Structure 1
Amino acid sequence: MEMTPELFFNRMVNEGLSYNHSIVAFDQEKPIAIVVNGIRMIDGKKTAWNGGTGIAIDYRGKGVSNLFMEEVFNMYHEENIEKETLEAIKENERAISLYKRFGYEIKDSLVYLSGSIEASIPEHTMLQTKSIRPEQLANFPFYQENVPWQCQWLSAKSGEAQIYLDEAGNSIGYTLFKKVWNQEGILEKVFLYQCKLLSEVSEEIIQAVFSSITEGESSPIHFITINASLSNPVIQYFMNNGFKLTTEQVQMERKI
């Protein structure tokens, strides 16, 4: 992975990562490894997220990872962390094996999907939409807080959120997303961080939800799901309707 200093700084800020809890390893004056960490309360537990670990190629296979992880765990211990999480690319067996050796377990399979849906409001839909700020989601009892770090509202403060209601005014789901426009002011794509339906997933509801997100824009709009759980019926619907799998990860957790 490569990124400019500006992109690195923006990622630290936007995802709530902590400079004070991130670590760089040196060989004399030469930086050779880095891990960026974030810490926040999730479901009442002080949780740490390893948002990325990198070791310089020349130093791999020389025991640096063992020393590095021990230093990270010492910091977690000093911070009284109750749960430790991370994600790893599914094909990166070497990294997954390393994390397992240190007590991490695979808890879920996560996917990045990419695709377009021709969003049009179904003729007979009674779905009502309420737009809210991402931080307001935490006030709703159905909001799912224990999701991958990047999908939590705290990591998507610059995004948008919507609540969906049936004709009786009962909540039936919500979405957390971020729109990206090009220089011509045209909606280019939508990053979908969460899409949870409390009712049965149907084409009518999906169409109504996507129409609410892309209201006033020309279709089709390109959607990208971020670290979405394969167990989510909405994600299964996307995969069955032409969305392409671009990346698959495993969500790992280490309990204290």
Structure 2
Amino acid sequence: MKIKTVAQCTLDEVLKAWNKGFEGYFIEINMTAEMFLQRLVGEGLSPEHSIVVFDQEEPIAIVMNGFRTIDGKKTAWNGGTGISPAYRGKGVSRLLMEETLAIYQRENVELGTLEAIKENQVAIALYEKYGYVIANQLLFLSGEYEAKVTPTAALRMATIRPEQLAHLSFYRENVPWQCSWQSVKQGEARVFYKDNNEPLGYMLYKTLWNECGEVERILLYQMAVLEESNVELITQFLASITTDKVHLMTVNFLASNPATSYLLKHGLKVTTEQVQMTKQL
């Protein structure tokens, strides 16, 4: 077997490694070339530091990696590890992990991160073997929601670009990779204040519109209430987008986030559970 970087492979080879690698997975992630390239750019993945394993000329496994500075630490994200079904349980995962961690060492990474489906105990055990620990429980929620409230003048809202969140003193930078402003640059951000300019919270999201020009779906990437006692203000936050019934979906919300409890209480259901794992390097 030999290892190449994604940058050294053809797009067809990378796609084959990815799509075969996630075949029969808990959630199949079959990608077209366009989808893969959008993800590569949108989530800041590095072709030079991501790898494909070959058996002769056949691409059989892949790991996608990205790097960012988060809370002052150089952080790596494993954005997907896949092994072709015929090669699972044959030592390929060890090869992938050892090469990936060697890349992290060369790049002076301080913290490694990844997510795994909660039910995927085989993968979780593998990561634990290489020093990763479970740091957070993550939830995808989905359901219909209607903000039955009239926006109040006592609540001031500022609409900003996602990248401006990083310059707010109260912004919490350490969130799952796909929920960071860097991964949601095409989204929208809103910050909420009391009428005396005291910050109350913020959200990062995307809206999908129907052919009638109405908000049909809201994808929530971050929803932060700075004081847990203000959690009911989430109704006001969401009403600032629409007061019509709308489909809400959260992406990798921390189970410990008060906003998660609020949304579950107001009718959303858990669709997928993941664990966030980290490794100090």
The answer to whether 1:241 aligns with 2:266 is: yes
Residue 253, structure 1, aligned to residue 272, structure 2: no
Of 230, 233, 238 in structure 2, the residue corresponding to residue 201 of structure 1 is 230
Task: State the Cα deviation string for residues 212-232 of structure 1 (Å, max 9, x = none).
Answer: 123xxx611111111000111
Q: 1:22 aligns with which of 50, 53, 70?
A: 50
1-structure distance, mates of 2:241, 2:224: 14
SS where residue 49 of structure 2 aligns? strand
CA deviation profile, 1:186-227 (whole Å, cap 9, x unmatched): 322111010001132343x1221011123xxx6111111110
SS, match of residue 9 in structure 1: helix
- Give structure 1 stretches of 5+ with no counterpart: none
Residue number in structure 2 paired with 1:171: 199
Q: Is the 8 A contact 2:223 2:259 kept in 1?
A: yes
What is the identity, as a one-letter code, of the residue corresponding to 2:226?
L
CA contact (8 A) 1:201 1:233 kept: no
Instruction: Determine the C-alpha separation between the residues in 2 that align with 1:141 and 1:116.
Output: 33
Deviation at 1:128, TM superposition (A): 1.0
- Could you tell me the percent identity over the aligned residues? 52
Q: Does the 8 A contact of 2:151 with 2:236 survive in 1?
A: no
Q: Which residue of 2 aligns with 1:59?
A: 87
Structure 2 gaps of 5+ residues are 1-28
User: Helix, strand or coil: the match of 2:237?
Assistant: helix
1:77 matched residue in structure 2: 105
Q: Distance in 1 between matches of 2:175 and 2:194?
A: 25
Contact in 2 for aligned 1:85/1:254 (Cα 8 Å): yes
Q: How far apart in 1 are the matches of 2:154 and 2:247?
A: 25
What SS does the corresponding residue of 1:18 show, helix, strand or coil?
A: coil
- What's 2:249 paired with? 224
What is the TM-score of this pair, normalised by structure 2? 0.86
Which residue of 1 is the match for residue 63 of structure 2? 35
Match for residue 89 of structure 1 among 108, 117, 126: 117
1:99 and 2:124 correspond: no
RMSD: 1.4
Which structure has more relative contact order (CA 8 Å, sep 6+)? It is 1
Query: How many pairs are equivalent?
Result: 252
